């Protein structure tokens, strides 16, 4: 019966109209997907000596250091961290509340997870979303909780088995909250990148019999790669903050 009711509700729901992205948001997406992967070709590493008086150029043959570093695996992990960071920025920090995001909220019902749109009838107004929960009135509390915790700045109002969700206006305070959250995601991403770096540097200690200059080049390569990925994350952060603050 639950499955049949869900199918009927989905059939009755109005097709979602995609929201228009602002030019600023388009620019963020352009910058986001044009952050190129760090090259795994032969690399020139520039590092400073202890006294920071001059730069040294170190030639690194990746085929050579692959004997002591799983280069491709390391790069894959760095890339995965950046991709996860991108997804968090897109899904969790939208400036405008997307109707589609509300419809896709996860609701736990009868020990199973469902998308909100599977459980309710949705009516879309210009500045309001109306949920008809008459098919499963017992899930109203779960829906209200999910909406309140969605980080979308929502203020749902309940009248019986109907839930009204006003589309919030973009306020300065909301922009600032999202900007701070973007910085938190960046810091977490940066920490993960640092942890990956530390893990591979630590593994170099297992190659005590390897030439010292090879160990040195390998560690320098790991350090430079880490910095490159932190720069990528910083690019994404600056672009997102610019979008959120309307600059």
In a domain, 32, yes or no: no
Q: What pLDDT is recorded for position 233?
A: 98
Task: Say how many domains are in the chain.
Answer: 2
Q: What pLDDT is recorded for position 16?
A: 39
In a domain, 55, yes or no: no
Q: What pLDDT is recorded for position 184?
A: 96
Q: Tell which residue, 114, 126, 160, has the closest CA to residue 140.
A: 160
Residues 182 and 86 grouped into a single domain:
yes
How many CB atoms sit inside 10 A of residue 130's CB?
Answer: 15
In a domain, 31, yes or no: no
Ranges of residues in the chain whose predicted pLDDT is under 50? 3-4, 7-8, 11-22, 30, 33, 36-42, 47-53
Cα separation values, 27 from 23, 30, 98, 239, 244, Å: 6, 5, 18, 8, 12
- Classify residue 208 by burial, with Cβ atoms within 10 Å: 0-12, 13-18, 19+: exposed
Cα separation values, 146 from 125, 159, 214, Å: 21, 17, 53
Residues 73 and 185 grouped into a single domain:
yes
Residues 181 and 234 grouped into a single domain:
yes
CA 180/CA 176 separation, integer angstroms: 6
Model pTM score: 0.64
Q: Tell which residue, 102, 165, 156, 163, has the closest CA to residue 136.
A: 163
Range of the domain at 237: 62-94+171-245
């Amino acid at each position: 019966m639950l499955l049949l009711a869900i199918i009927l509700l989905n059939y009755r729901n109005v097709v979602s109209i995609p929201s228009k992205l602002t030019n600023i948001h388009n620019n963020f997406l352009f910058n986001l997907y044009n952050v190129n992967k760090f090259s795994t070709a032969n690399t020139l590493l520039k590092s400073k000596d202890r006294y920071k008086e001059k730069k040294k150029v170190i030639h690194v043959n990746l085929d050579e250091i692959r004997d002591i570093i799983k280069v491709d695996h390391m790069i894959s992990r760095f890339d995965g961290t950046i991709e996860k960071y991108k997804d968090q920025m897109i899904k969790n920090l939208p400036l405008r509340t997307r109707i589609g995001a509300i419809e896709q909220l996860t609701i736990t019902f009868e020990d199973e997870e469902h998308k909100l749109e599977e459980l309710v009838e949705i009516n879309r107004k210009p500045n309001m979303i109306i949920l008809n929960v008459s098919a499963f009135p017992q899930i109203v509390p779960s829906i209200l909780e999910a909406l309140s915790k969605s980080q979308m700045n929502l203020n749902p109002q309940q009248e019986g088995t109907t839930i009204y969700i006003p589309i919030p206006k973009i306020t300065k305070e909301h922009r600032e909250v999202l900007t701070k959250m973007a910085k938190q995601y960046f810091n977490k991403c940066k920490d993960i990148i640092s942890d990956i770096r530390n893990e591979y540097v630590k593994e170099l200690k297992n190659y005590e019999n390897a030439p010292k200059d090879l160990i040195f080049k390998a560690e320098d390569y790991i350090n430079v790669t880490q910095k490159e990925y932190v720069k990528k994350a910083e690019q994404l952060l600056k672009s997102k903050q610019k979008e959120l603050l309307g600059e």
